[in-house]
Amino acid sequence: MTAVFENEVVTEARVRYMRVPGLAGEIALVTLDNGHDHTRPSTFGPGGLASLDAALDEIAAHTPAPAAIAVTGKPFVFAVGADLSGVPAVTSAGQAREIAETGHRVFRRLKDSAVPTFAFVNGVALGGGLELALHCRYRTIASTAMVAFPEVFLGLVPGWGGTQLLPNLIGIDPAVTVVVENALAQNTMTRAPKAAALGIADVVLEPADFLERSLEWAVGVLTGDVVVSRPEVDRTGWDAAIERARAIVAARTRDASPGALRAVELLDLARDGVGGEAFTAGTAAEDDALTDLLMSDELRASLYAFDLVNKRAKRPAGAPDRKLARKVTKVGVVGAGLMASQLALLFVRQLEVPVVLTDIDQARVDKGVAYVRGELEKLAGRGRLSPDRLNRLTGLVSGSLDKAAFADADLVIEAVFEEMSVKQQVFAEVEAVVSAECVLATNTSALSVTEMASKLEHPERVVGLHFFNPVAVLPLLEVVRAEQTDDATLATAFAVGKSLKKSCVLTADAPAFVVNRLLTRFLGEVTAAVEQGTPVAVADRALDPLGLPMSPFDLLTLVGPPVALHVAERMHEAFPDRFAVGEGLKRMVELGKTSVYSEPSVVDADLEGIDAGDSPLTEEQVRDRAVRALAQEVRLMLDEGVVQAVQDIDLCMLLGAGWPFWLGGISAYLDRSGVSETVTGRRFLPEGVASLPA
């Protein structure tokens, strides 16, 4: 192949011939193994495809011919698809097409084999790994395995037969769910029982003796003792399913993801079936799509984002030596409102240590404790917690009116009203009862952590732990280092964040930190345009070409106008030249409105006139102002040292705001659109880092 992945970890396809009781011939068993444990799943680059091709050549030449060919994986992993780490080595459309065509050619050998083919899906099968399994005639799956097509999430398409084979196996509507809907829902994976129910696998077997049982099942199929029946695919609902797919893409990407749009086109094309010529035409269309997408800036930005989430997020830049972290055996939560209760639930589930909540009256304390216990019971009801674990975790949650309950806590986090004097008083009361080593954390979204700690005897023990709502869903944790925060406190904060299964990013104690600062700046430009006279609907769809997960005013509803107003006021105090406090936002809060809309696309009658200015802007003008503001703010944040590097800003927007991978967080988009250089005089990232090579 002309594209060579210099650092490819090659997945070897090792063949052994197995005699199984009840079968006259042998089964040629191909095991996919890259030589690493499950933490480095098997992938297919040029070397891996060549190894599989050679294995099939060996089997074809074997005498006598085997009765069947079976493919399985190393422990816990079947295969997870293409080796995306090698994509930077693909510098031409010709190389991209060769990779697409080679995958199709090698996998198709299993589909067209005169000898029956089996996939023994012993573990996770993603992307190209699932496509390989679909090329086999029969499939077993371990009960612990999961399958998915994550390509659309990454800005790609299933490009080695998946868009053609899956809908012709399980039907177009379920295929839309697996290929498009699940991928755009943060890459939701399908567990083995559901995969079998859909028809992706033929039988579910237990993992303890999975290979033995799979071989026995295969023998049953080969001898006729096991009959695999698959229902005829209903093609009457194809148009409706494709329309549903288009609606999902429009809602979740604003049609800004080239990969998502191409995936829908390919699924539509699959209606002609997977017979010889139809399958050849369908896979040729996949070749075209994969070639175009691999040679797009959006895909390179997406892989940059993927790398940030999977590597940088696991080794936070600027974090102290983790050996300095103190052990946390009990957690205190000041406050028992919704945010505090969500935090308590997270701590008890992930740390499994005693968690005690306090508040100003017994009714609030009782409500907070009841919320946590109720959520634990819901998890148990869904099979997510065993009865024993439910009882244990429920017993770890308690409430108290007296902060003396924190006396033996190692970490106390406050989640009370966003008022500096209130938070200072809370910390003073807590410091009076806890040990000198107890870490004091704040979940403030905008206030100065340094000022919050300034009146304490030990300000060095205070750190910001800014979680995002909903706490159980969003993976980002901004770890805020105040002026006097010491390394032991900071190391403890990072260790706790990791134990909570959050991705931590270190930030300086700057106003609103990272995510809220950028969201407030960009939302401020949109609301300012409305006050100038831009119709609400025009301003609200102005950012659609970026493909953000929600429109500006949907975001305002999610955040809540009171919170948005609070952050805007803090930012205006800090940077009055760039952050304004909109009159429309004030009016919403005064009237108790949660949204500018009374119903979809209808501005609330009580808010009529908020766009009564006489200088309306077009969508393009609103978008231009917003992205220019983002570029300016990102550069200022870097100059101020708010984060270690622009990669941390991108990581925050990906994980804390849900901004799409094809934006590369935000910096890659600002670079490729030319906004970075126009506004700041230079790019944020070198060419080729989150874009095609120069």
The sign of the CA dihedral 324, 330, 332, 338 is positive
Catalytic residue among 8, 98, 101, 151: 151
CA angle, 661 then 667 then 670, to 5° = 105
Residue 222 near residue 26, CB atoms below 8 Å: no
**What is the 3-state secondary structure of 360-406?**
CCHHHHHHHHHHHHHHHHHHHHCCCCCHHHHHHHHHHEEEECCHHHH
Catalytic residue among 8, 12, 98, 131: 131
525 is catalytic: no
- Classified as helix, coil or strand, 512 is coil
**Spatial separation of the C-alpha atoms in residues 78 and 82, rounded to whole Å:** 13
Segment holding 520, helix H or strand E: helix 515-532
Neighbours of 275 (CB within 10 A): 9
Residue 676 near residue 682, CB atoms below 8 Å: yes
Residue 597 pairs with which residues in a beta bridge? 603
CA angle, 479 then 338 then 186, to 5° = 60
What are φ and ψ of residue 138, in 5° steps? -135, 155
Which residue, among 506, 428, 432, has the nearest Cα to 464 in the 3D structure? Answer: 506
Sheet hosting strand 331-334, strand order edge to edge: 397-400, 355-358, 331-334, 411-414, 439-442, 462-467, 476-481, 503-508
Which residue, among 107, 16, 28, 106, has the nearest Cα to 67 in the 3D structure? Answer: 28
Residue 203 pairs with which residues in a beta bridge? 140
**Spatial separation of the C-alpha atoms in residues 80 and 423, rounded to whole Å:** 48
8 is catalytic: no
Neighbours of 616 (CB within 10 A): 16
Residues belonging to the chain: 694
Bridge-based pairing of strands 476-481 and 124-126 is unpaired
Burial of 6 (0-12, 13-18, 19+ CB in 10 A): exposed
Task: Calculate helix-pair angle for 338-351, 487-499, nearest 10 degrees.
Answer: 80
Residue 125 near residue 78, CB atoms below 8 Å: yes
**Spatial separation of the C-alpha atoms in residues 347 and 678, rounded to whole Å:** 45
- State which amino acid sits at residue 48: G
Give me 85's structure tokens: 């780490």
Residue 148 pairs with which residues in a beta bridge? 126
Residues forming the active site? 131, 151
